Chain A
């Protein structure tokens, strides 16, 4: 189902929900400047100025009908995310990205059920979004961190992934796809949901996973690559070794209870599945650079050239 994320390109028609708000307007312009095909948006006050040339309406269904949009970025406050994303999915949107911080977990549970039932992909609750570097971005991943290349970058964190992307770029490494799943407890897309499409995605020659304490996503991702015989190299950076037990470290999902979700359990699961785990950005990027120059094969399907040229 998450295949739809990999099918996005510069032609995919995208709408912004909340396009006349301060954030919506600004990021619609930034996304458009990057190459995203922004075609319209919704607004509670459609008379207010949005970016030029966009079809803006109060109703998501109207905008989708008028523009043929298949993807949406909802730039609405956290307590409006459930309603906005549900409306988009009911209007026929196939990929909806929600960026607001602070979406209540019970809302996320309901939205996840809505998306599943409709067969749509919900990326969020709170994510900086996703990008096909050099082609399109949905959300607000900064351009300075993006570079076209052959590593799929999967991440729970915004800022930490920017740092990783930026330092990859400084070493000549880039991303085939960038997917922020968010640091929430309950989310639309989890790391493990991406394993199937990643295995098929030809531009992806390896995976960099930026994880952190809390939850069991990294463990489940490890199980998914092991059970499916995922052949591309996987490098994981894990943050939060020094985090405080029982306290959410900024991200609601980053809470350990001493049993599950500890760094140790993630490292052990990933290593047991053939992935490499790192606790420093420099070590991770060094290893990615090393693999890109002289790729070490991991399983039969590993490619001979890990790092491609920028498109």
Chain B
């Protein structure tokens, strides 16, 4: 999961790297005191790359320009993410470089990369021979130190010391926070040393439980990190895909849920959400299903709820009882429910639902269930 730039920078600052003076502003926050006399850079805080090319970064010479840029960005959507806050920083001048440390999943190691010329066109730089230098390291500080000395071999005389200092601090931040990616682009080389121009950090959600400082970043900002916040606090996955969609999903299994979304969209459907409710963890309690129904109830165009459970281990008879209990407490009792249930205890589930919820359509096969969902969802 990507952090917004301001949070990434705070990790770098805590790790001893220099970041520009800056201030965060948002719609419901008072006008901030700007750092210094300008120029400033205004940057939309969204957890996604490619902001600059999508209009999420503006260089401003006057305070009026800053105010206008903030007004323009707040509320805008950048690559699917609503802009809630902007970071206003003192503009830095210096040579733009690039440095990153990332988990290399294919190699099973970490990769250290550096380029003396960074900036928005780094992907292009990377394609040019010698544009970017890169080395694979074993997964610990010692391994990265070896990588650093491999990369400094070919650097001009004055460069290695400064590079080594930045790279080592980057490595500390990377390991202390168990990061998947720690990228500084641009990294400014200024007369006073290195300054972090932008921070792109991907954290490992699986490590949050033993990394309280990262956990705290999420906990403080449920609006910014909505999906992950929910996963931590509810124990399962529910991801908003389309707040204007018409099909609410109550599904289990990440891969199958993803596939169902693709299959529904291919048939012209508009799913509201991705959902992996983890039926194996319900343990006789409908609370999790009730939560899903509550979230679905907030979607204004919802027309149908599609329940899809492939029960390998879970008993469907038990699940059907929990589903009915949850539907009894549903804030949207009039929305039709279509269930596709297959696997262990299927017949018991069908028999029970027939008597307890005669209007609930139950299918064993997916194709007719999908067709029914699409026909009910169509206006």
Q: Is the CB of A144 within 8 A of B257?
A: no
How far is B274's CA from A35's CA once the two chains are assembled, in angstroms?
36
A59 at the interface (CB under 8 A from B): no
Interface with B: A12-20, A63-71, A275-283, which one?
A275-283
Among residues 217 to 257 in chain A, which have CB atoms less than 8 Å away from a CB atom of chain B? 217, 220, 237, 239-255, 257
Question: Looking at the complex, which one of A140, A190, A240, A282 makes contact with B313 (CB distance below 8 Å)?
Answer: A140
B65 at the interface (CB under 8 A from A): no
B77 to chain A, nearest CB (A): 12
Q: Is the CB of B178 within 8 A of A105?
A: yes
- B residues within 8 A CB of A112? 108
Query: A243 — nearest CB in chain B belongs to which residue?
Result: B258
Q: Is the CB of A162 within 8 A of B310?
A: yes
How far is B205's CA from A133's CA once the two chains are assembled, in angstroms?
34
B254 at the interface (CB under 8 A from A): yes
A277 to chain B, nearest CB (A): 13
How far is B2's CA from A160's CA once the two chains are assembled, in angstroms?
26
How far is B276's CA from A224's CA once the two chains are assembled, in angstroms?
32
- A residues within 8 A CB of B257? 159, 249-250
Q: Is the CB of A160 within 8 A of B103?
A: no
Residues 261-301 of B, flagged 1 when their CB comes within 8 A of A and 0 if not, give 11101100001001010000000000000000000000000
Interface with A: B191-199, B206-214, B321-329, which one?
B206-214
- B residues within 8 A CB of A40? none
B48 at the interface (CB under 8 A from A): yes
Q: Is the CB of B254 within 8 A of A250?
A: yes
- B residues within 8 A CB of A240? 258-259, 262
Residues 27-49 of B, flagged 1 when their CB comes within 8 A of A and 0 if not, give 00000000000000000000111
Q: Is the CB of A158 within 8 A of B108?
A: no
Interface with B: A41-49, A88-96, A208-216, which one?
A208-216
B239 at the interface (CB under 8 A from A): yes
In the complex, number of A-B residue pairs with CB atoms less than 8 Å apart: 183
How far is B367's CA from A251's CA once the two chains are assembled, in angstroms?
25
How far is B139's CA from A185's CA once the two chains are assembled, in angstroms?
15
B167 to chain A, nearest CB (A): 18
- Contacts A163-B256, A239-B258: A245 and B274 contacting too (C-beta < 8 A)? no
Q: For the complex, count residues of B whose C-beta is within 8 A of A.
A: 56
Q: Is the CB of A257 within 8 A of B258?
A: no
- A residues within 8 A CB of B80? 244-246
- Contacts A103-B206, A212-B255: A247 and B239 contacting too (C-beta < 8 A)? yes
Q: Is the CB of B103 within 8 A of A109?
A: yes
Query: B261 — nearest CB in chain A belongs to which residue?
Result: A242
Residue of A141, A186, A254, A279 most packed against chain B (CB within 10 A): A186
B281 to chain A, nearest CB (A): 10
**Footprint of A on B, CB under 8 Å?**
1-2, 47-50, 79-81, 103, 105-106, 108-110, 123, 138-139, 175, 178, 180, 204-207, 209-210, 227, 237, 239, 241, 252-259, 261-263, 265-266, 271, 274, 276, 310-313, 342-344, 366-367
5 A-B contacts, Cβ less than 8 Å apart? A105-B178, A106-B207, A144-B343, A243-B258, A250-B254
CB-based closest 4 A-B pairs: A157-B255, A159-B253, A250-B254, A142-B312
